[in-house]
Chain A
Amino acid sequence: MKKVFIVLFLFIMVAIPGVSETLHIYSWSDYIPEDVIESFENAYNCKVIYDTYDSNETMYAKLKAGATGYDIAFPSGDYTEIMIRENMLISIDKNKIPNFNYLDPDVLKMITYDPGNEYSVPYQLGSTGIAVNTLYVDEYEKSWSIYLREDLKGKMTLLDDMREVFGAALKYLGYSVNTTNTEHLRQGKEVILEWENNIVKFDNEVFAKGVISGEFWVVHGYGENIYYEGTEEELKNIEFFIPEEGSTLWIDNMVILKGARNVELAHKFINYVLDPKVSATISDYLLLPSIVPAAEEYIEEERIYTVEDLQNCEMINDLGENLKLYNKLWNEIRFGLW
């Protein structure tokens, strides 16, 4: 019996890399639509292997520990900056990416973590907001203050994400989401503790399912998850908004990792994704604003929000050394450690 397994084993080990050319993508789950991947495979006669992670942090921990073999990864801005500093990326040859010119210059201006886009090319832009199940909640202000409402106690969630929750609190107070001012941070912590009284859970995984099914009435999260999860019928009862005080902004980028086995193909993929028609398909799939203006004419679905809606939003940047400040306060909030 054991022999059979060993043989099967070896077979699989050999079979998978045996195809002509392979591209290894390491990304969020369902972040790139199937048809885009298929059409890329057909256009360039190759195979795409798609592996997933569920957060920047775990992806980074694994890559930092030395895992190789992936060609492209999709870190958010702050982690892109970290990966650049830690020499984990290969610089991008813009000559191989003519479609780079299709990118929205306004979006490019926002990019402080990789000026000049030497190592990264933006993939998607988005924000974090609040979703409310209107079957259970009639009146509410489109503000972070909803978390202060005692009548909704036990029916709300916040993301289990230090930067996002602090970002929300800091925006609510009118401060920067990247502040290192200890007084601002202390106030932020107070606010979060007040919010914590009314939530039932800090959650990253089930908020979409939860708000649609009525388990939660108000959740903090990403629009695209919620819209993906619900049917048209169900979404009629859900309202997603970006609070008026503003929110966090993130840009997910395509980067080529050191140790990538197929740098050529990686460049081709990045270029492919920026083509207006392809960008429109992706945008329709994720319902996020497209960062390729020329894609506008191909877009069919309505966005959850547009780039203009994100005026008030501030990008999360890496804090470097100062991460400790946030971390200490977050541990106090989550674990009661002080």
Chain B
Amino acid sequence: MSDYKKVIGKRRFSLIFSILVILFLYLPVITLIVLSFNQSRHGVLWTGFTLKWYRDLFSNADVWRAFLNTVIIALSSAAVATVLGTLSAIGIYWHSFKTKKYFQGLIYTPLIIPDILMGVSLLLFFVAINVQLGLITIFLAHVTFCISYVTLIVIARLQDFDYTVVEAAKDLGATGSQTFFRVIIPLISPGIVAGFLLSITLSIDDFVITFFVAGPGSTTLPLKIFSMIKFGVSPEINALSTLLLGSALVLSTIGIRFRKIIFT
């Protein structure tokens, strides 16, 4: 990659802007972290420091079960959706074949169906084919709505992709799969990673679709939290979110460091 510094200069404007945007993103998050230590149950006012909610959280088996379900489903469905979505993106973008238009329509339509209809339609479908509702049905549903997002992002990446590199590789004698794995995938990997992250985000937070296709006992975190809303969401959830945030930050920093060490 070219030397950015020379061309881009100090990027002062975008730096300031970015800092503001990050503050914007973190404002409610910081609030909820602070409130997880607040004595009051629904604090707007700070009434004192306490670790009570963290203690309550650790003894709340229901929340942990829901959390575990959520993580498992998010990681697995994001993985599958990313694979399927990337393949679809490559297939659609670079090749023309008879049924391409159908494929394109099929890939993009899930984006415009309201969740509630997708949830009910999947429920009706699962019932019709006699599949027991449970974690698997949630997994299936999540992959289904994530594929389109991954495809869209990877295609955006492909559009600015220089196909001549592929041709050069072929000219140099690379086979199809070598070209695929050693040339194409690495060059579009930022798109793939972006798609994967987006899928996880979508899955972790999904409420409506999950509600309809969840079976007895297969609660996910959004379901659990949303159901608590009438009786007030306890700060235990704030505590959980804080822990989640903290560990995600730590893990990703480690992951990035690790990667740097391995690849340099």
Contacts and interface: CB of A to CB of B under 8 A. Distances in A.
> Are A and B genuine complex partners?
yes
Interface of A: 1-2, 5-6, 8-9, 12-13, 16-17, 24, 26, 28-30, 49-54, 58, 61-62, 65-70, 204-206, 208-209, 212-214, 225, 228-231
B230 A28 contact: yes
Given A62-B212, A209-B42, A212-B42, A29 B231 contact: yes
A229 B124 contact: no
Nearest to A8: B72
A54 B229 contact: yes
A62 to B, nearest CB: 6
Given A5-B75, A62-B212, A66-B124, A225 B62 contact: no
Which of B135, B217, B219 has the most chain A CB atoms inside 10 A of its CB? Answer: B217
A53 B208 CA distance: 11
B43 to A, nearest CB: 8
Contacts of B18: none
A67 B127 contact: yes
Contacts of B224: 52
Contact of B211 (A50, A58, A212): A58
B77 to A, nearest CB: 9
25 contacts: A1-B79, A5-B76, A5-B79, A6-B76, A9-B76, A12-B69, A12-B135, A13-B134, A16-B217, A16-B218, A17-B217, A24-B216, A24-B217, A29-B228, A29-B230, A52-B223, A61-B120, A61-B212, A62-B211, A67-B133, A68-B133, A69-B132, A214-B44, A229-B41, A229-B232
A205 B229 contact: yes
Contacts of B44: 213-214
Contacts of A70: 216
Contacts of A62: 123, 211-212
B49 interface: no
B245 to A, nearest CB: 22
B231 A229 contact: yes
A204 B231 CA distance: 11
Contacts of B212: 61-62, 65, 67
Contacts of B219: 51-52
Contacts of B227: 28-29, 52-54
B29 interface: no
B26 interface: no
A126 B261 CA distance: 64
Nearest to A55: B230
Given A28-B227, A206-B229, 15 more contacts: A1-B79, A2-B76, A9-B139, A12-B72, A16-B217, A17-B217, A51-B214, A52-B219, A53-B227, A65-B123, A65-B127, A205-B229, A208-B232, A213-B44, A231-B41
B69 A225 contact: no
Chain B interface size, under 10 / 10 to 19 / 20 to 34 / 35 or more = 35 or more
B215 interface: yes
A69 to B, nearest CB: 4
Contacts of A58: 211
A61 B213 CA distance: 12
B216 A5 contact: no
B188 interface: no
Contact of B127 (A6, A66, A228): A66
- Which 6 interchain pairs have the tightest Cβ spacing? A66-B127, A52-B227, A29-B227, A69-B216, A229-B232, A24-B216
Contacts of A12: 68-69, 72, 135
B216 A225 contact: no
B136 interface: yes
A146 B216 CA distance: 43
B226 interface: yes
B133 A9 contact: no
B124 A65 contact: yes
Contact of A66 (B62, B123, B232): B123
A290 to B, nearest CB: 19
Contacts of B230: 28-29, 54, 204-205, 208, 225
A64 B71 CA distance: 29
Which of A24, A66, A204, A225 has the most chain B CB atoms inside 10 A of its CB? Answer: A66
A49 B216 contact: yes
A225 B124 CA distance: 33
B231 A30 contact: yes
A231 to B, nearest CB: 7
A32 to B, nearest CB: 12
Contacts of A208: 230-232
Contacts of A65: 120, 123-124, 127, 212
Interface in B115-168: 120, 123-124, 127-128, 132-136, 139
Given A30-B231, A54-B229, A67-B127, A229 B216 contact: no
